[in-house]
Amino acid sequence: DGGITQSPKYLFRKEGQNVTLSCEQNLNHDAMYWYRQDPGQGLRLIYYSQIVNDFQKGDIAEGYSVSREKKESFPLTVTSAQKNPTAFYLCASSIMRGNQPQHFGDGTRLSIL
Amino acid sequence: GESVGLHLPTLSVQEGDNSIINCAYSNSASDYFIWYKQESGKGPQFIIDIRSNMDKRQGQRVTVLLNKTVKHLSLQIAATQPGDSAVYFCAENTGSGNTGKLIFGQGTTLQVKP
C-alpha cells in the first residue's frame, strides 16, 4: 500500500542528545513536511521541502534540522538546542502541482528521559 | 496576521444526529481549505477539501460549506456515528505562492454519545 511511514512510534531523548526521526513515503510526492503537535493544540510547521536537496524553515525551526537527499525520505533531527522537545511529531507529503491535500504519517511521540 | 480558528473546542452530539463543526479564517487570499480528522495517537486523516471558487462540496456523509463573505468554513457530518469521535481540524492554504504550506486551526473535539 502507498503511504507515509514514520519511525519509531515512541522515542526517548536524554539531555544533550540529538535524536533523528524517520519519515519515508512511497507516494511519489514532491513535497514533504514536518509538524509539531503539543497536547490540545493544532499543528505547527517545523520544516518543509519541495524538491530533493532543498528545504525551507517553517514557523518553529529553531533546534531542529532536516535533510532531503532522496525524494522518498525526509528525516528530522531534534538537536540538544531544542529545550522543550517533548511533543508529537507528524510528517506529511503532498503533490506540488495545484492545490492538493497533505497526507500524514501516524507520528512519533518524543519524550525526555 | 494569518490565523485559522475554530469556534468551539468540544462538540457533543447524540448518535444519529447531524454534527456541524465551524472554522473561521482571517486571510481573504486563502484559496484552498481542507478538513482533517485525527484519532488519538494517529496522524490527521484527510476528509474533504474545497477550493475558493466553490461554496459547497459533498462527500460521503460529509459536506463542507465555504462562506467567503464572512470567511467561514463548516463541516457537516450526517447521522453521526461513534466512529466519528475524534478531533477535527480545518486548514487553509493562504495562496502565497504554490508552496503547499497549510495553516491549521486548533481543533474541535467531537464526542458522540450512544
| Statement: residue B5 has pLDDT above 60 | no
Contact between B22 and B40 under an 8 Å Cβ cutoff? The reply is: no
Q: Which range among A65-74, B1-10, B15-24, B52-61 shows the weakest confidence by mean pLDDT?
A: B1-10
| Statement: residue B6 has pLDDT above 90 | no
| Statement: residue A37 has pLDDT above 90 | yes
End-to-end distance of chain A based on CA atoms, in angstroms? 35
Q: From the CA of B43, how many Å to the nearest CA of chain A?
A: 4
The tens digit of pLDDT for each residue in A49-66 reads 999 999 999 999 999 999
Helix (H) or strand (E) holding B22: strand B19-25
Selecting from B46, B89, B101 the residue whose C-beta is nearest the C-beta of A45 gives B101
> What pLDDT is recorded for position B99?
66
Please, which pLDDT band fits residue B97 given cuts at 50, 70 and 90?
low
Q: Map grid coordinates 477539501 to a residue.
A: B49
- Taking CA–CA distances from A96, the nearest residue in chain B reads B100
Q: From the CA of B46, how many Å to the nearest CA of chain A?
A: 7
Distance separating alpha carbons of residues B97 and B89, to the nearest angstrom: 23
Residues of A in contact with B99 (CB under 8 A): 48, 50, 56
**CA-atom Rg of chain B in angstroms:** 14
- Residue A79's alpha-carbon distances to A18, A35, A105, B40, in angstroms, are 4, 15, 22, 27
Give the three cell numbers for residue A3. 503511504
Mean pLDDT across chain A: 93
Residues 6 or more apart in contact with residue B97 via CB below 8 angstroms: none
CB pairs under 8 A between A and B: 63
Handedness of CA A37, B11, B30, B47 (dihedral sign): positive
Torsion of the alpha carbons at B90, B94, B99 and B104, rounded to the nearest 10: -30
Distance separating alpha carbons of residues A103 and A27, to the nearest angstrom: 9
The tens digit of pLDDT for each residue in A55-99 reads 999 999 999 999 999 999 999 999 998 989 999 999 999 998 778
Please, which pLDDT band fits residue A42 given cuts at 50, 70 and 90?
confident
Handedness of CA B29, B32, B33, B37 (dihedral sign): negative
Contact between A47 and A76 under an 8 Å Cβ cutoff? The reply is: yes
Contact A42 B107 (CB under 8 A): yes
Q: From the CA of A104, how many Å to the nearest CA of chain B?
A: 6
Q: From the CA of A112, how many Å to the nearest CA of chain B?
A: 18
Q: How many residues in chain A?
A: 113
Contact between B11 and B113 under an 8 Å Cβ cutoff? The reply is: no
Strand B10-14 relative to strand B108-113, pairing: parallel
Q: Map grid coordinates 532536516 to a residue.
A: A66
Residues of A in contact with B49 (CB under 8 A): 99, 101
Selecting from A44, A98, A104 the residue whose C-beta is nearest the C-beta of B44 gives A104
Residues of A in contact with B44 (CB under 8 A): 43, 90, 104
For residue A77, the number of C-alpha atoms closer than 13 Å in the C-beta half-sphere is: 10
Residues of B in contact with A99 (CB under 8 A): 31-32, 49, 51, 93
Please, which pLDDT band fits residue A18 given cuts at 50, 70 and 90?
very high
**Residues 12-51 of chain B whose Cβ lies under 8 A from any Cβ of chain A:** 31-32, 34, 36, 41-46, 49, 51
| Statement: residue A1 has pLDDT above 70 | no
Distance separating alpha carbons of residues B25 and A35, to the nearest angstrom: 20
